[in-house]
Amino acid sequence: MSLHDQDDPALRAAQEKRLRAVWEPPKGLFLRWTDTNNNQVGVWYVLTAFGFMLFAGVLALIMRTQLAVPENDLVTPGTFNQLFTLHGSVMMFLFAVPMFEAVSIILLPQLLGARDLPFPRLSAFGYWSFLLGGLFVSGSIFFDAAPDGGWFMYPPLTTRTDLSGLGADIWMLGLSFIEVSSVAAAVELIVGVLKCRPPGMRLNLMPLYAWYILVVAVMILFAFPPLIAGDILFEMERLLDWPFFDASRGGDPLLWQHLFWIFGHPEVYIVFLPSIALFAMLVPTFARRHLLGYPWIVLAAVGTAFLSFGLWVHHMFTTGLPKISLAFFSAASEAVAIPTAVQIFVFIITLWAGRVVWSTPLLYATGSLAIFVIGGLTGVMVAVAPFDWQAHDTYFVVAHLHYVLIGGTLMPLFAGLYYYWPLVTGKKLSDRLGRTAFWLLFVGANLCFFPMHLSGLEGMPRRVFTYPEELGLGGLNLASTIGSFIIASGVAVIVLDLCRSPWRPKAARNPWQAGTLEWLAKPEDENWGVRSIPLIESRYPIWDQEDFVRKVDEGRFFLPDAEEGRRETIVTSVLDARPVAVIRLGSPSWLPMLTALALGGVFILTTYHFYWLALVSSFATLGLVLTWLWVGTAETPEKPCKPIGHGLELPLYISGSAAPGWWAMFITMMADATAFSGLVFGYYFFWTRHEDFPPEGMDFAPGLFWPMAALALGVATWVATVAAREVHARGGVNLARTLVAGAIVLAMAGIFAGLAGPWLSGMDPAAHSYPAIVWVLALWTSIHSGIAAIMLAYVLARSLAGRMTPRHDAEIRNVTVYAHFLALTAVVTYLTIGLFPEVA
């Protein structure tokens, strides 16, 4: 096929017909929900997250009504505690983070000129998990069973089963399930950015939104796992009475606070940076010029992400820390303002240098900047520890965080909504309603939250269902309540605007005259993403590259056809985006939804102590995952290569570090290793807390022999797996199968050796935090050995079924990545629990 072929309109029409057929969404009342394409899944995701935002907003209105006057009794204290716990948890876990992922699922393929993300079924799985977990957690309030320990869930209030009910389990297990889906989406987005860029889009030509996605997804990868580790310890204490946070048995409530805030602070930037990313897309459009200082903003984003992991302790300034920690974390908390300031001034200076075109999205951006700057400055105030000792846990902090989140998340999202609505639906929203809503939101937010600075400084603590009249806080609180209803009316106007949208006429293509790739989308959008995958030479190709839109539309770039009737996209190299392969993408399927249901069953059934049913559900999950892998991944193509235009011919099968699957495995294991390090942190944290660790009478448990045996077996599993990969690549299929079989035996033996240490030395995990943390580490590692055995068995089966050959060997290569991490986990676990007691 040469370029001239594309001159033939008949050929183009035939190509379009084939593409349309391949990307046709499934129809029908039930079948449509099997869709996996980002255009559909992304929209469901956004709408669901938006729905949870409205729900959490209503909860806030009830709280504000209760607090409108002193000594009110509209709701009981128990209900009020459920309201504020759920408001915070839903806004964070079911709105802010998922909304970022949802918007990214819609936008990322468009921004990268890709047909879809590399793992469409994973996106669908993430969505269904999110929906199920979200309904489970938020529905609990209708049964008066919602979590009531605050979104931070500090033990022992929440771990003592006599002080907290089912709500605590619903929070832990329901949100752990959501966290799993968040990590799944993060993996998808990272691999999407790294491997699915169009040819020529080197890292330094990437749209800034993609940079921010990369940064934020990496943050999710390192921030959520410590919380998942905390969740594990938490539920072990609640369900099995293992005393991690019980001071009377060697535990420490502060361990939870550390694990929670190691997650909780980066979380703030996880929900803030994506909004900055939306600014980075719309500011150049309305300044009619390139963003000034591209490298600066990328470095500032990376710097913010990096620093955000070093300042969690500022949430713990009042826990009695040593002076040196106060000084260090105060300094780090102030330092994070610097990269933030760089990002803000990059936008302002871009507007300065360019020609400002006023529009509704820019109005929202301006308003959110104003609100965010106030929130940022009060943030610097609370970073000063002596000030924080007064302001901490008062309404001053409530004011601060809402200024940050309204200015840094909510209003930018509305800016993005008005900006990108035409991209998704082909129709513009009303400027008049948009401006009305803006002013309601802006005035409401300031009226609601500014007085809270004052009520906080006057001594009003957070999380109180009432306050005495004598304190004279009635006026300020009434103002806040009125403000909250004005915010609500602004949101209602936006909802009205959205509801009217279907009756509006189609807008022009690229209605804002933007320069970035996503605006290739036509108002009557096709499901296929882009007509042909372009060659990128600029950060603003629509502005800078000659005849760009026409060439894309006429299929003059790459992969303009779907000859084999398969959904495909191009994979490129990580740094310089050289085309590497064409991959076949997952088509609509029931598997993602069913797997999400089964996995959700494990978490939900455990909440209600239906352990046997939960076990059945976990076997169902395993079966579904294996089926999904077997039928849906690493398929051997019907031909080795295919032409994609311009004389380029790309392979249809890749394995190892060139392949998206390998990257997904690697990235997932980074998250896994981070969760594991949270547990290891627990072990050494307990050591620093006790003079005598291991405690008197447990000095010799779990002994040296069994941990060292387990360590040797873990390393041997790894050696056998690596050897199998090497032998297999050189054609020694039978020897490789033998080695894999040997690795399975070694991994299974590793399970028993790992558990034998604590078991045979009679360690009672309910007695003290020491045996409890040893058991957790041994269990974690043994479960990982068990998963290794299952994976290796899968590899063996694929080989025996003829689906894995020396040329098509993605399975063994991906499992080897897992084996690397297994070996690391085994070495750290067994050196810690075996050797550390000898030297401590």
Partner 1 sequence: MHLTSVLVIGATVIALLVLAVYVIAVRTPEGKLDHVGGMRLVLWLGAIFPTVVLTALLLWALPAMRPLPHQSGDLRIQVQGEQFWWRLRYEDGNGPGVISANEVRVPVGRTVVFDVTATDVVHSFWIPGLGGKMDMIPGRINRLVVKADKPGIFRGVCAEFCGLSHALMAFDVIAMEPSAFDAWLASARGVPARADGRGAELFSANGCGACHTVKGTPHTAMIGPDLTRLGERRSLAAGTLPPTLESTAAFIRNASRFKPGARMPAYSAMPIEDATEIARWLRSADGEAGR
Which two structure tokens, joined as six digits, stand for 1? 């096929």
CB nearer partner 1, residue 247 or residue 708: 247
- Tokens 């169009």 appear where? 198
Cα(277)–Cα(256) distance, integer angstroms: 32
In sign, the C-alpha dihedral spanning 260, 263, 269, 272 is: negative
Cα(364)–Cα(313) distance, integer angstroms: 33
* Residues 763, 765, 771: CA angle, nearest 5 degrees: 60
Residue in 140, 143, 147 with CA at minimum distance from that of residue 171: 147
CB of 231 to partner 1, least distance (A): 19
Q: List CB contacts of 708: < 8 A, sequence separation 6 or more.
A: 830, 834
Instruction: Point out which span in 181-189, 209-217, 377-385, 543-551 binds partner 1 (CB under 8 A).
Output: 377-385
CB of 649 to partner 1, least distance (A): 41
Determine which residue in the list 142, 248, 503, 547 makes contact with partner 1, applying CB under 8 A: 248
CB nearer partner 1, residue 378 or residue 532: 378
Q: List CB contacts of 616: < 8 A, sequence separation 6 or more.
A: none
CB nearer partner 1, residue 84 or residue 818: 84
Cα(368)–Cα(44) distance, integer angstroms: 26
Report how many residues bind partner 1 under the rule CB under 8 A: 79
Interactions with partner 1, residue window 449-478 (CB under 8 A): 457-459, 461-467, 471
CB nearer partner 1, residue 277 or residue 634: 277
Q: Does 342 bind partner 1 (CB under 8 A)?
A: yes
Interactions with partner 1, residue window 651-680 (CB under 8 A): none
Interactions with partner 1, residue window 278-297 (CB under 8 A): 288-289, 292-293, 296
- 172, 123 contact by CB (below 8 A): no
Cα(602)–Cα(176) distance, integer angstroms: 11
Q: Does 385 bind partner 1 (CB under 8 A)?
A: yes
Count, residues in the chain: 840
Which two structure tokens, joined as six digits, stand for 666? 């690697």
Cα(714)–Cα(68) distance, integer angstroms: 61
Cα(105)–Cα(121) distance, integer angstroms: 12
CB nearer partner 1, residue 193 or residue 362: 362
Cα(306)–Cα(218) distance, integer angstroms: 10
Peptide bond into 225 cis (omega under 30): no
Cα(747)–Cα(715) distance, integer angstroms: 9
Instruction: Point out which span in 388-396, 592-600, 604-612, 771-779 binds partner 1 (CB under 8 A).
Output: 388-396
Residue in 48, 87, 46 with CA at minimum distance from that of residue 64: 87
Interactions with partner 1, residue window 391-430 (CB under 8 A): 392-394
Q: Does 341 bind partner 1 (CB under 8 A)?
A: yes
Cα(515)–Cα(291) distance, integer angstroms: 11
CB of 389 to partner 1, least distance (A): 2
Determine which residue in the list 389, 611, 700, 705 makes contact with partner 1, applying CB under 8 A: 389
DSSP H helices in 554-610:
591-607
Q: Beta-carbon neighbour count of residue 29 at 10 Å?
A: 6
Q: Does 378 bind partner 1 (CB under 8 A)?
A: yes
Give percent helix, percent strand, percent coil of the chain, each to the nearest 5.
70, 5, 25
CB of 539 to partner 1, least distance (A): 14
CB nearer partner 1, residue 252 or residue 267: 252
Interactions with partner 1, residue window 125-164 (CB under 8 A): 149-150, 154, 156-157, 160, 163
Q: Does 62 bind partner 1 (CB under 8 A)?
A: no
CB nearer partner 1, residue 342 or residue 670: 342
Interactions with partner 1, residue window 530-559 (CB under 8 A): none
Q: Does 350 bind partner 1 (CB under 8 A)?
A: yes
Q: Does 237 bind partner 1 (CB under 8 A)?
A: no
CB of 90 to partner 1, least distance (A): 18
Instruction: Point out which span in 384-392, 520-528, 716-724, 787-795 binds partner 1 (CB under 8 A).
Output: 384-392
CB nearer partner 1, residue 388 or residue 672: 388
Site string for partner 1, 254-283 (x = CB under 8 A): x-----------------------------
Interactions with partner 1, residue window 311-330 (CB under 8 A): 318-320, 323, 326-327, 330
Q: Does 681 bind partner 1 (CB under 8 A)?
A: no
In sign, the C-alpha dihedral spanning 585, 101, 277, 500 is: positive
Q: Does 77 bind partner 1 (CB under 8 A)?
A: yes
CB of 514 to partner 1, least distance (A): 17
Q: Does 496 bind partner 1 (CB under 8 A)?
A: no
